[in-house]
Amino acid sequence: MSPRSPLVFSGLELSHGERKLCADVNCALPTGSVTLLQGHNGAGKTTLFRAILGLHRSRAGEIRVFGGAPAQGRSRIGYLPQTRPLSAPQLAARAFVTAAWRGSRFGLPSFGRACRNAVDEALTCVDACALATRPMFQLSGGERQRIGLAAALLDRPRLLLLDEPLAGLDTAHQEQLAVLLRHLQRTAGVTIFVSVHGRSPLDDVADFRLTLRPRGASFLPVHVDS
């Protein structure tokens, strides 16, 4: 597979039980691109992310992640799930990011210097160092998304999956997130795949749009699709 395609779908079809969600997904995301994932509610956007992570079996077709099976590429993926209630609202933002650390020593979690440096780097990358000591429940929706993004970036992923990161954000915070994602794409070369509902500030920074449909998906450059 070409090194320009970290994520490839070939004849992919997804279902939930007996219900078909999407079909005929055929595309390759170029390295360093920003791709929007769209489709009506129930079209399979979250299910597609789960399939990329190796957590959901496809009904037909294939997903290749960095040239291999999804489960094999999981360590190179950063994932920001849909916003959900905080399980530990008193947790400081830095501790929230640290909890995403995958490093280990002798088979046990290791939170030494490498972890501390990685957390510092991730917080700096999303301009959130000033939020590090604040409890998560005190943060605004936009600030929480930046902390969540820092956690997703902790292991320097080459592919970033963001599941509706604009949900619940006002226009100003949506625009800030769009600028941040473009900065990450340009400075770190990370490939970004982000699900959205309708038009948004992300249209201005995206390169491609993948639209899921039960009878066939479309993959087009944003400037042609808009």
> In the prediction, which pLDDT does 167 show?
86
pTM value is 0.88
Give the pairing type, strands 34-38 and 191-195.
Answer: parallel
Residues 103, 111: Cα–Cα separation, whole Å: 7
Q: Which pair of tokens denotes residue 210?
A: 């993948």
Asked if 194 and 181 touch (Cβ cutoff 8 Å), the reply is yes
Q: Where are the domains of the chain?
A: 7-225
- The pLDDT of residue 157 is 92
Joined together, the tokens standing for residue 89 give 């609202």
Output the pLDDT for position 43.
87
The answer to whether the CB of 195 falls within 8 A of the CB of 49 is yes
Alpha carbon distance 98, 87 (integer Å): 15
Stated as kind and residue range, the H or E segment containing 149 is helix 141-153
Task: Walk along the chain (226 residues) and give the pLDDT tens digit of each residue.
Answer: 445 689 999 999 999 888 888 889 999 999 999 999 999 888 899 999 999 999 999 999 999 999 999 988 988 999 999 876 677 788 999 999 998 887 645 455 567 888 899 999 999 988 899 999 999 999 988 899 899 999 999 989 999 999 999 888 888 889 989 999 998 888 888 999 999 988 899 999 999 999 998 888 999 998 754 4
Within 10 Å of residue 132's Cβ, how many Cβ atoms?
17
Strand 159-163 relative to strand 77-80: parallel, antiparallel, unpaired? parallel
Structure tokens at 187: 């400075």
Residue at token pair 């449909």: 213
Amino acid at 56: H
- Choosing among 3.40.640.10, 3.40.470.10, 3.40.50.300, 3.50.50.60, the CATH entry for 7-225 is 3.40.50.300
| Dmax (CA) of the chain | 52
pLDDT for res 226:
47
